[in-house]
């Protein structure tokens, strides 16, 4: 079956760095997305990786290892507004998104 695993909840301090991990098992693979979702709102796009390696975009970076079925989202210089759920989603061979349950990130002052 297809499966995405990510931690349920993480806590970090304002100004610090946090890494949110995601492992996946899918039928075929056409890339991996990271989305941010604030409560009651639709997800917003953060990153997309299809090749191995690290992609940096401002304070956010995303890493992918296809051989290990593993990705992480790295958030630097955390701000209070970064408190949200972070969803990992893998794209299968039919271009459907297989979603993780999301990681709730709590930022403390």
Partner 1 sequence: GAVVSQHPSRVICKSGTSVKIECRSLDFQATTMFWYRQFPKQSLMLMATSNEGSKATYEQGVEKDKFLINHASLTLSTLTVTSAHPEDSSFYICSAPRRGNREAFFGQGTRLTVV
Instruction: Give the interface with partner 1 as residue ranges (CB under 8 A).
Output: 31, 33, 40-45, 48, 87, 89, 91, 95-97, 99-102, 104
Q: How far is the CB of 20 from partner 1 (least distance, A)?
A: 14
Question: Coil, strand, or helix at residue 6?
Answer: coil
- Which residue lies nearer to partner 1 by CB, 15 or 53? 53
Least gap, CB of 41 to partner 1 (angstroms): 7
Complete DSSP assignment for 8-63? SEEEEETTS-EEEEEEEE-SS---EEEEEE-TTS--EEEEEE-SSEEEEETTEEEE
Q: For the purposes of burial, counting CB atoms within 10 Å of the CB of 95, is it exposed (0-12), middle (13-18) or buried (19 or more)? A: exposed
Instruction: Quote the CA–CA distance of 38 and 101 in Å, as a whole number.
Output: 14
Residue closer to partner 1, measured from CB, 51 or 109 = 51
> Minimal distance in Å, beta carbon 79 to partner 1?
23
Instruction: Tell me how far, at minimum, the Cβ of 93 lies from partner 1, in Å.
Output: 12
Q: Which is nearer to partner 1, 40 or 58 (CB)?
A: 40
């Amino acid at each position: 079956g297809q499966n995405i695993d990510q931690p349920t909840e993480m806590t970090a301090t304002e100004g610090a760095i946090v890494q949110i991990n995601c492992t996946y098992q899918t039928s075929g693979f056409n890339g991996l997305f990271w989305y941010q979702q604030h409560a009651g709102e639709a997800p917003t796009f953060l990153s997309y990786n299809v090749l191995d390696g690290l992609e940096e975009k401002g304070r956010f970076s995303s890493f992918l290892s296809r051989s290990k079925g593993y990705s992480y989202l790295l958030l630097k210089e955390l701000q209070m507004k970064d408190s949200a759920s972070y969803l990992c989603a893998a794209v299968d061979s039919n271009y459907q998104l297989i979603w993780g349950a999301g990681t709730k990130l709590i930022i403390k002052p």
